[in-house]
Structure 1
Amino acid sequence: MPRNRTTRSWAGALALALGALTLATGCGGDSSAAGSGGKTVLRYTWWGNPDRAERTDKAVKLFEKKHPGVRVQTSFAGFDSYKQKLATQAAGGDAPDVMQLDYRQIDQYARGGVLLDLDKQRRQLDTSDMDKELLRTGRVDDTLYAIPQGRGAMTLVYDARLWRKAGIKAPRPGWSWSEWADAVRTVAQRTGKAGATDPGQSEDAFEVWLRGRGKALYTKDGAPGFTAGDLAAYWTFTDRLRRAGAVSTAEQTTQLDGTVENTPLGRGTAASDINWDAPASGYEPMLGDDVRLAPMPAGEDGTPGQYFKPSMFVGAAADTAHPDEAAELIDFLVNDPEAAKILGANRGLPVNDTLRAELEPKLTGFDRTIADYQDSIKHAVSAPPQAPPAGDISLQTTFQRDYDQVSYGHLSPREAAEDYLTELKAELR
């Protein structure tokens, strides 16, 4: 987990990226037709794992077959490396023609002039059959800059064997955070393993906890939607569980690096983890048939905190030389029935309502697990929030770092919460 202090502005973040990283696109040159047999060349980049890469390459080959005048150069990396590389490319005016984007990048890249206005590409890009609530999340100042490429949801991923051993029933939609706490305490007492990864380090989990209390991470105008008291209450809750041995230790939690392999659940030292449903597929090689997905806890009064979130977006570079072809590739990725079959639920379930309805009955393996999970919670979710404001992308690391101070006993939950709110407000200025 990074320990450096975060930068304080978009320009600062890009300057840091330029100074710290060597530009290595992995895509080769600009997106001109030179040296490509007269074809238009698009650069398309994304983050993911080898399974996603294999599926994406198959889909891209199909796109090229249907668009013989276009060649697509592809590259991918792990999420952390991808974020750094894309920031470097954007800062250097060399953003790829088509790029995968995280929820937290939309506002920053749109306001930074990196992303193409997709409202101007309506002839090539059809959004008429997409989930309107999810589509709204790709807008900034009422302009469409990114298309959700999949629908995901947060989940409690758990080892069913350990939960059975502890005598814990499968969680149901609407269970509360206090019921979750009781469950992980019981699992820890009866199995000798932590009941869960400590969620105190997760801004995503904190957002679900907040929403269950009728609050939000950010207001509609991009200001903090919670107080230091709210965050102190959350960190006090998780701190007490850690001190009781119900969740992972500080040493285990600080090993988190964004991969499932390095979570306590992945290392075999905990019985559950809070994660997003699509990445949870990574637990299957380790836990096999014992992997289960459970709904996130709700507020004590039953208010749902979780929501269907765009698992990722796809957008185009504002300065691409081929906006029409870039929009056609985006349209293909989100609307083509054959592409949907190839991509499956690896990026989340399709946001195209028709494709999702056609695809779900045919899913197998963990794709089927994700579809069943999302179907089980569809009546226990609330509308998704708008994309976080520029500056939020670095705050997840700040959130983790400040909670580390609580975990190691250097600060009280209240002191750490006040520090975080101060840094959050400075980051958003």
Structure 2
Amino acid sequence: MFNIRTRRAALAAAAVTASAALVLTGCSGGSEPAATYDPDEEVTLNLAFWGNDVRADLYDQAIEAFNEEYPNITVNSSFLGFPEFWEKRQTEAAGGGLPDVMQFDYSYLRQYSENGLLLDLEPYLGDIIDTEPLSEQILGIGVVNGETTGIPTSTNAWGMFTNPKLLDDAGVEEFAGGDWEDYDAWMAEVTEAGGGDLWGGTDWTGRIQNFEIQQRAMGSDLFTDEGEPNFTEEDLAAFWEQGADIREDGTVITQQRLEEIYPVSGFDAALTASELTWDNFGAGYLGNLGEEYTELGLIAPPITEEGAQDLYLKPSMLHSIAATTDHPEAAATLVNFLVNSPEAGAIFGTNRGLPASETMLEGAELDPLGEQIRAYEESISDRLGDAPPVPIVGYGTLEEKFRQLGQELGFGTITVDEAVSQFFTEMDVVLNQ
């Protein structure tokens, strides 16, 4: 169902007909502020986001707080589930009718930006949109081909969750840090202590993000600014070969056991003591583990190269403005409030992730897990580098292919060389479609 939240005016609905195979059409959007903008003019903006009733209520509260300061700007908001949200945006994009302001996902930013569908926010940065509370790293996340088309609301970083209760039961200390071989050795110690009921972790070579941070440690992002691969078949083969021993000697949980417990992971099911993933997954883990587990460890991933800036802050989500908006300055004013205001921080807390803006973070009341994530991201500051280029169109397909090939390596149904060949074939299709 398409849920609608309205402030001071009814939301006009238009029926849109589109073909199943929809192609995004570029629109010409101005990059200069509207010369005729009148701050006292009655303006109506449409705001779209994905989420549920809980998030919708938070946006209602935020809009109400926004209207206390800007009573002349009416905000009509609508929300959908994540897949439906992007289906509707695709239909709107083809018809030139995107909402004025949108919650945006990182994986779609390049596609919409390169098709001219999003407003370049550069004219508003440092003016309507306050940049002081946002670091250069944060601002750089939303840049596509030299244009800022999104402002992150929140961030997360790659990290390692551990399960203190399981480690205590097994009589094994927390991973003390080190390189990937040290991590493998620690996992082997946990697995041995677990006696067949607990493993140290999963095969970490099944996640493209671990390949990415190893490549970044050597000075290369996975893809260039132009969207070309920045790694070779030899690079990928060497990475997957790192997992051969831990797959074969039983250090990590078997792929068959993971299939048996799907859709939960080994970490969710209290079968593994560690998991490398994004730091905002903690709440979901605790929810799945149950009341017996009250805390998680959160530490930095293994080191590939001492002193390397291999990690980066990734946006949980961004806010963008349609290139076709009739009210760019009013839209930028709304974005600034949703991204920077302490009021928005107090309302949303960590619902959209750890606030990216210092002023919004100051207003947020963090729960213990939120405080833990905040402390973690501060602890890895020396390892944080610039974010990689905005993901290529089709990156999600490649990430899923990488995961599937990792599963097959776990089952032993393909060799590393076969996996590399299949991945590069898929990448060629994605990059040339």
TM-score > 0.5, shorter chain as reference: yes
The answer for the alignment partner of 2:281 in structure 1 is 279
1:161-310 → structure 2 map (5 Å cutoff): 161-172=165-176, 175-191=178-194, 192-251=197-256, 253=258, 262-285=264-287, 286=289, 288-299=293-304, 301=306, 303-310=308-315
SS for the counterpart of 2:294 is: helix
Q: Give the share of equivalent positions with the same residue, in percent.
A: 31
Q: Distance in 2 between matches of 1:355 and 1:325?
A: 20
Hey, what does 1:71 align to over in structure 2? 75
Q: In the alignment, does 2:160 pair up with 1:156?
A: yes
- Taking a change above 3 Å as real, the CA distance of residues 183 and 394 of structure 1, as seen in their structure-2 partners, is same
Question: CA 1:55–1:84 in 2, change beyond 3 Å: closer, same or farther?
Answer: same
Contact 2:45 2:101 in 1 (8 A): no
Query: Match of 2:384, SS?
Result: coil
Q: Distance in 2 between matches of 1:344 and 1:234?
A: 38
Q: Is the contact between residue 278 and residue 347 of structure 1 (CA under 8 Å) also seen in structure 2?
A: no
Q: 1:348 aligns with which of 346, 353, 365?
A: 353
1:129 aligns to what? Answer: 133
2: CA distance, partners of 1:309 / 1:179 = 26
Secondary structure of the residue aligned to 1:290 is coil
SS of the equivalent of 2:318 reads: strand
Note if contact 2:128-2:336 (Cα within 8 Å) is conserved in structure 1: yes
Aligned partners of 1:27 and 1:73 also within 8 Å: yes
Trace 1:128-147 onto structure 2 (pairs within 5 A).
Answer: 128-147=132-151
Tell me, in whole angstroms, the C-alpha distance in 1 between the residues paired with 2:261 and 2:63: 33
Q: Secondary structure at the match of 1:320?
A: coil
Q: Distance in 2 between matches of 1:169 and 1:304?
A: 27
Task: Tell me how far apart the structure 1 counterparts of residues 143 and 414 of structure 2 sit (CA, whole Å).
Answer: 38
Query: In structure 2, do the counterparts of structure 1 residues 305 and 135 end up closer, same or farther at CA, with 3 Å as the change threshold?
Result: same
1:352 to partner: Cα distance: 2.4
Query: Per-residue deviation at 1:239?
Result: 4.2
For residue 390 of structure 1, report the CA deviation from its aligned partner.
2.6
Amino acid at match of 1:134: I
Partner AA of 2:157 in structure 1: A
What is the CA distance between 1:26 and its match in structure 2? 4.2
Q: Distance in 2 between matches of 1:256 and 1:208?
A: 28
Deviations 1:160-197 (A, max 9, x none): 1112233433335x621111111222222222223223
More helix per residue: 1
Q: Are the aligned partners of 1:198 and 1:242 in contact in 2 as well (CA < 8 Å)? A: yes
Deviation at 1:53, TM superposition (A): 5.0
CA contact (8 A) 2:154 2:352 kept: yes
**Which secondary structure does the structure 1 equivalent of 2:250 belong to?**
coil
Residue 383 of structure 1 aligns with an amino acid whose one-letter code is D
More moved, 373-382 vs 296-305:
296-305
1:115 and 2:115 matched: no
- Give the alignment's Cα RMSD to 1 decimal: 3.2
Higher mean alpha-carbon deviation, 273-282 vs 234-243, is at 234-243
Q: Say how many residue pairs are matched.
A: 396
Give the SS at the match of 2:354: coil
**Unpaired segments ≥5 residues, structure 2:** 14-41
- Equivalent residue, structure 1, for 2:386: 383
Indicate the residue corresponding to 1:101 in structure 2.
104
Q: In 1, Cα distance between the equivalents of 2:260 and 2:138?
A: 33
User: Which amino acid is 1:264 matched to?
Assistant: G
**Which is higher, the Rg of structure 1 or of structure 2?**
2
* Per-residue deviation, residues 100-144 of structure 1 (Å, max 9, x unmatched): 223322212201223222224455323243111221121112111
Q: Is the 8 A contact 1:392 1:428 kept in 2?
A: no
> How is 1:13-24 mapped onto 2 (pairs within 5 angstroms)?
none
Residues 126 and 412 (structure 1), Cα distance of their counterparts in 2 relative to 1, 3 Å cut: same
Matched, 1:315 2:317: no
CA shift for structure 1 position 342 = 2.0
Q: Which residue does the alignment assign to 1:327? A: 332
Is residue 44 of structure 1 aligned with residue 48 of structure 2?
yes
Segments of structure 1 that go 5 or more residues without pairing to the other structure are 1-23
8 A contact 2:5–2:60 mirrored in 1: no
- Alpha-carbon distance, 1:370 to partner: 1.0
State how far apart, in whole Å, the 2-side matches of 1:391 and 1:161 are. Answer: 39
- Three-state SS of the structure 2 residue aligned to 1:267 is coil
